[in-house]
A and B are shown apart, each in its own frame.
Chain A
Amino acid sequence: MSTAANHPSVLVSQAGAGAQASARRAPVPWYLWVGAIAVTSSSIGGAWDVSWHRSIGRDTFWTPAHMAIYACGVLAGIVGLWLTAQATFGRDKKMRDASVSIFGLRAPLGVFLAGWGGLAMLTSAPFDNWWHNAYGLDVKIVSPPHTLLILGIRAVGVGMLFLILAEMNRAALASEGPAGVVSFRRLQMLFLYLGGLMVGGQMFFVQEYTWDVALHQAAAYIALAIAIPVAFAAFSEASRFRWAATTCAAVYTLFVIGEILILPLVPAQPKLGPVYFPVTHLVPAKFPILIIVPALALDLLWQRTKKWKPWQIALVSGVLFVALVTAVEWPFADFLLSKASANRFFGTIYFDYNARPWSFDRLREFLHPDSGMKLWLGLARASVYAAISTWVGLAFGRWMRGVQR
């Protein structure tokens, strides 16, 4: 670990000064914008595709949702090939110096990560096709070939994030003057925007446990405790921003609310049976989980505990995260299952075409709610997981802070 990275306060002030001086001079390189667009495109495509399967059911290779996901691969591919060509064969020493060497090729680390993700996505295609022929079209999202695909998409996203990260870290660590240093503040915001999309990805992965009717089960909070603090802590440490967790949570929240407001405007009808709920438009995601509340609290905590040991921070963060997310989401779930939320904003009026009339979702009833000892023990477990998740996030975030290539 570099010495600079161990002294965040010094670093932030340097970065601030550097950023101010360089704001006008060095624009964000085109490939970082393209990378951010690529990840945005796959996030939109992913949400759109899930909605497509919940509303229309049947798809082809060429649905707009799929195109948005492929666009991510194409854009990331262009960025990756260009950067690899520059760093491996080009004459630009700066490019060459800011790259790592893997199997004889030179490129920023993020390019290799994204390339790996692209290959994983490509591999998943014939695998998934065979899977459908062998076992039928998957009814569940999380199958081995889909996991490989999701892993690939996520790797492309992380790769683009690392491209920005390295550029941002170089901007922050450049102690001598602003020459050639890119605007730190802009890179920081771009980084946190992608971080927010990543948080959305984490929420996507745990959605099976955090469905609104499951929010009175300890399992929902255990899933959140494992998946979310690690991202908040890592992005907070790596970005050096006081409100990093809040920013990421806000990106996720706005993205999902946007989905709820926009998707139902598009007419759609099921093209597959059995149809249990006659759908007339694209069905959006469920209302976002209120992780923005614990995010704000964690940001406030982390601003005040810079001198603490990581395990101390992690322990308090874990308890705080679980306590707050439960305190706000538990009663909010009651609201989501009530008539009061049955409107276009909270979106509890939307159901999949194959939502059985007797399902908990359609009946708006909680699925096997936990109470008493089971609940408290579950929440205690969640706090432990959240603490571990935070600790891992802090450690990885500190490591990320030093990444310069």
Chain B
Amino acid sequence: MKIFRRVVWMLLLAATALPAWAHVGSKDVFEDVNAGPYKLFVTVRPPNVIPGVAAIEVRASGPQVSAIRMTPVPMTGEAAKHPPTPDAMKVSADDAQFFTGSLWLMASGSWQVRFEVDGAAGEASAGVPVAAMPLSILPMQRSLGMVLGLLGLILAIGMVGIVGGAVREARLAPGVAPTAGRRRAAWMASAAALIVAGLMIYGGGTWWRVDAASYAAGVYRPLVLQPMLSGNRLVLSFGGYEHRGGLWRVESTDELLPDHGQRMHLFAIRWPEMDAVYHLHPQPVGKRDLGMTLPAMPAGEYRLFADIVHENGFPETLTATLDVPAGMSNAPLGPEDASARPPGISSGELGTNYRLPDGYSMVWDKPAELPANKAYAFRFRLLRPDGKPATDMQPYLGMAGHAAFVKTDGTVFAHTHPDGSAAMPAVMMANGSAMADMSGMPVEPVSPVVEFPYGFPSAGRYRVFIQMKHGGVVETGVFDADVR
């Protein structure tokens, strides 16, 4: 029991220590993909432990879909060539176009779930990228610990009893009663067995602690982002320690995939009021750094959220804090960069209509209730000063819009697009050349109404930043959400 309690304590301690370096992304993937003529709205909820089971939901639209099969495949490498046998998804009894299923993700890394769709318009397939990583360890519930402890105790006592019985009677001829000497020997053997049982429990406990610690060490931590500000020049490098207390190793920026033409999407948000936000794009400087001249920014502490995508399609959000001194810069904002200066979060919840500096406004068709973990397609509209839909829309960084969902306690940051929350280079890797044109300009004219598939990962207060472009101006609308 003591061992159990100690281990539970250790796990609890480890769990509470985690958020210091836990990642801030939303692990769940919400993605709209086209499988040939079929449109699939896919939700993948990866497990918190790897290997573990991912829960998958697909809502199909377009031509009637009769069946969907799915299989997990690593994004790159030899195993990408050998998909395991696919599983049929279950059709909902209420809705013939809603499919559910679960898949094992056996290793950490960059994966895709491949969907094979069969329906009225023939067969087609599509892939949705999934970043698999162990995120947490589970403490043992008290009741289970007690049950297991009790069973363990019974096993230990049982072992002692069996050894005693074996020494006392097992070697006697049938019917012969044990002598006093045998009884004494049995007691001594029982005592020895008790010591052995104790040692076995202790050894097992030590083994368990070692395994638990090695698992805890394997829990995902993003690379460390190191910002350096000299004057108004920001230089960022990122890397990791080879092991705890080991050598610092800088990651090469060559290895990053361009996402909408940028190697890094950097959100700088003034903390804790979230009353100034900048969407910036530092450019590679040599192989080790990314750098840029910062625009004029109000002084204060900023949280940096830097989105990068690795060569194998694995996305990461790196975080750091940056102190911006007063009068640091008077440089203008870059042409593809964006900013907003909303009221601070302490001055109350923002409404669903956000007035922009140039007289335009952005409106959120906000659902009445916002439960956590529910998948939505959140809709935003850009309106002219006269209240009519904006007409001079342009793509911003190749998309109709960009969204950032940020929890006010800093534990969640998700940069998403109208196609979904998966990183665009990973979506392209998963779907090959079929979607290659998505990297450039959208083929269709840009609409002033944009939907972002997303689900808030936990209850609490969030600030939502929406960016759309019209007439050469990148607008940033800001909204608040209270998620239950």
Contacts and interface: CB of A to CB of B under 8 A. Distances in A.
A273 B50 CA distance: 13
Interface in A88-116: 93-94, 97-98, 100-103, 109, 112-113, 115-116
B170 A116 contact: no
Given A126-B148, A144-B207, A94 B161 contact: no
Contacts of B211: 135, 143-144
B151 A119 contact: yes
B155 A133 contact: no
Contacts of A136: 47, 49-52, 134, 215
Given A357-B78, A403-B171, A57 B84 contact: yes
Contact of B158 (A58, A116, A170, A173): A116
A123 B148 contact: yes
- On chain A, which size bracket covers the interface? 35 or more
A402 interface: yes
A144 B208 contact: yes
Interface in B111-168: 111, 134, 137-140, 144, 147-148, 151-152, 154-155, 158-159, 161-162, 164-166, 168
Nearest to B72: A273
Interface string B49-77: 11110000000000000000001111001
B325 interface: no
Interface in B323-356: none
Interface in A146-178: 147-148, 166, 170, 173
A403 B162 CA distance: 14
Contacts of A277: 82
A137 B107 CA distance: 10
A275 interface: yes
B174 to A, nearest CB: 4
Given A119-B154, A119-B155, A134-B137, A273 B83 contact: yes
B249 to A, nearest CB: 24
Nearest to A403: B170
A101 B138 contact: no
A397 B172 CA distance: 16
A272 B106 contact: yes
A179 interface: no
Interface residues of B, number: 55
B85 interface: yes
Contacts of A273: 71-74, 79, 82-84, 106, 111
Given A130-B144, A144-B204, A404-B171, A135 B215 contact: yes
A121 B106 CA distance: 26
Contact of B173 (A144, A270, A404): A404
A270 B104 CA distance: 12
Contacts of B84: 57, 269-273, 275, 353
Interface in A267-326: 269-278
B136 to A, nearest CB: 9
A190 interface: no
Interface string B306-338: 000000000000000000000000000000000
A113 B162 contact: yes
A130 B50 CA distance: 14
B87 interface: yes
Contacts of B111: 273
Nearest to B79: A274
Nearest to A138: B51
A166 B79 CA distance: 54
Contacts of B259: none
A58 B72 CA distance: 13
A348 to B, nearest CB: 21
B169 interface: yes
A405 interface: yes
Nearest to A113: B162
B174 A135 contact: no
A102 B165 contact: yes
A116 B155 contact: yes
A271 B86 CA distance: 7
Contacts of A57: 84, 104, 106
Given A134-B140, A144-B208, A139 B174 contact: no
A100 B169 contact: yes
A271 B170 contact: no
Contact of B165 (A112, A127, A137): A112
Interface in B172-208: 172-175, 204, 207-208
B474 interface: no
A2 interface: yes
A405 B166 CA distance: 9
A273 B175 CA distance: 60
A361 B47 CA distance: 31
A347 B78 CA distance: 24
A139 B52 CA distance: 11
Contact of B104 (A58, A102, A130, A356): A58
B18 interface: no
B78 A98 contact: no
A173 B134 CA distance: 61
B441 interface: no
B12 interface: no
Nearest to B85: A269
Nearest to A119: B155
Given A143-B211, A273-B71, A276-B78, 20 more contacts: A57-B84, A57-B104, A102-B165, A109-B169, A112-B162, A113-B162, A116-B158, A133-B138, A134-B137, A136-B49, A270-B85, A271-B84, A271-B85, A273-B106, A274-B77, A354-B79, A356-B78, A357-B78, A404-B174, A405-B174
Interface of A: 2, 57-58, 93-94, 97-98, 100-103, 109, 112-113, 115-116, 119-120, 122-123, 126-127, 130, 132-137, 139, 143-144, 147-148, 166, 170, 173, 269-278, 353-354, 356-357, 399, 402-405
14 contacts: A100-B169, A126-B148, A130-B140, A135-B211, A136-B49, A136-B51, A137-B51, A166-B170, A271-B84, A273-B83, A273-B84, A403-B166, A405-B171, A405-B172
Please name the 8 residue pairs, one residue from A and one from B, whose CB atoms are nearest each other, closest first.
A274-B79, A97-B175, A275-B82, A97-B174, A134-B138, A136-B49, A100-B169, A402-B171
